[in-house]
Amino acid sequence: MDAVEVIGSRPSLAPGTPLLEVDDLHVEFHTRDGVARAVNGVSYSVAAGETLAVLGESGSGKSVTAQAIMGILDVPPARISAGRILFRGEDLLTMSAGARRAVRGQRIAMIFQDALSALNPVLSVGYQLGEMFRVHQGLSRAEAKAKAVELMERVRIPAAKQRVGDYPHQFSGGMRQRIMIAMALALQPDLIIADEPTTALDVTVQAQVMDLLAELQAEFRMGLILITHDLGVVADTADKIAVMYAGRIVETAPVRELYARPAHPYTRGLLDSIPRLDQKGRDLHAIKGLPPSLLQIPQGCAFNPRCDRAQDRCLTELPLLTPVLGEGGGELPGRRSACHYWRETLHG
């Protein structure tokens, strides 16, 4: 394996400067059936020490955006047709291949949703953890193994010294996810992208994994992008939320404000779908219909076929992500909605 350039010192960011800024990103997939527009003008930012939760149903573009940031899209069929991805002010999309590889892992790391598939089944977890140090820092195998044990202990895997030679299938789902977290933390990156990190885990283990991520993020002051479809997972973890639908962001808000008063019908539908203890015995709410095909996104607002509040304007005119206004007419900080009638949703 070719060695990867080691990045030196990490200068401090100017106050208020985002760690990562995605600006008007467009990603499409060219298929036999046509062009699938997976990401359609997505923009968001993350600061150091901040957690952004990206929510939405499967197929909304959450993971494709993350893969574009990491530079791991399969090209072709994928194609980034427009936009910028600024990391510490530098556009990742204009970097050379070598410089991009140096950023990946050292500065930006990713935790994948299926740890068993992401880990190599024929290599021990210690070897896979140690590879980060051998490739990026030039450590010997013995030194890398010692670092792997330290990481396993850091993410609270019992008997790490005895288990460093075990293989992925010998660990439980929760322990494998801890190994993925350890791998992402190996080089103390500035930003971690966690793609559905609690998928297929039981509720207790989900809470443990999320608590561990929050603790490590606070300790290392990393930015965190948390991709999920589960609003319950991010309630106590995120600082702000971006809700995606059909490749677009349809609402952004600080986490508590979004839960208290959503300003987009899709967000309200997601929140109403969460089971509640005070509604025992009642039927669960479900958003009618299915997400649209990315090959044929509806004209106007993509959510209009499933929206109970849709009007004629929604069928023809694409709503832009615009500021949400408060009672006095001023913009609510961090609040935006891509709905022609957000006032009715917010106050209805």
- Return phi, psi of residue 205, to 5°: -70, -35
Quick one: pLDDT at residue 174?
A: 84
Separation between Cα atoms, residue 91 and residue 100, nearest integer Å: 10
Separation between Cα atoms, residue 288 and residue 266, nearest integer Å: 11
- Give the predicted TM-score (pTM) of the model: 0.88
Quick one: pLDDT at residue 14?
A: 61
Assigned token pair, 261? 């008063």
Strand order across the 20-31 sheet = 34-46, 20-31, 78-87, 90-91
- Return phi, psi of residue 167, to 5°: -100, 160
Confidence of residue 7 (pLDDT cuts 50, 70, 90): very low
| Chain mean pLDDT for the chain | 88
- Mean pLDDT in residue range 299-317: 94
Runs of H (alpha helix) within the chain? 62-70, 97-106, 115-118, 125-137, 141-154, 160-163, 173-185, 203-220, 231-234, 255-260, 265-272, 312-316, 342-347
- Domain ranges in the chain are 20-238, 252-275+285-347
Assigned token pair, 74? 């399969």
Confidence of residue 10 (pLDDT cuts 50, 70, 90): low
Separation between Cα atoms, residue 97 and residue 3, nearest integer Å: 13
Which region among 3-12, 60-69, 231-240 has the lowest average model confidence (pLDDT)?
3-12
Separation between Cα atoms, residue 100 and residue 288, nearest integer Å: 42
Contact 115, 180 (CB under 8 A): yes
SS3 at position 188: coil
- Return phi, psi of residue 117, to 5°: -80, -35
Phi and psi based region of residue 34 (left: phi greater than 0; alpha: psi -120 to 50; beta: remaining): left
User: What's the Cα-to-Cα distance from 298 to each of 92, 147, 248, 293, rounded to whole Å?
Assistant: 31, 51, 13, 9
Sequential DSSP letters for 122-181: TS-HHHHHHHHHHHHH---HHHHHHHHHHHHHHTT-TTHHHHTT--GGGS-HHHHHHHHH
Q: What is the CA radius of gyration of the chain?
A: 21
SS3 at position 288: coil
Output helix, strand, coil percentages for the chain, rounded to the nearest 5: 35, 25, 40
Q: In CATH, which superfamily holds the domain spanning 20-238? A: P-loop containing nucleotide triphosphate hydrolases (3.40.50.300)
Res 16 pLDDT > 80: no
- Return phi, psi of residue 331, to 5°: -70, 135
Quick one: pLDDT at residue 15?
A: 57
Separation between Cα atoms, residue 150 and residue 241, nearest integer Å: 33
Res 258 pLDDT > 70: yes
Which region among 72-81, 117-126, 204-213 has the lowest average model confidence (pLDDT)?
204-213
Separation between Cα atoms, residue 96 and residue 230, nearest integer Å: 36
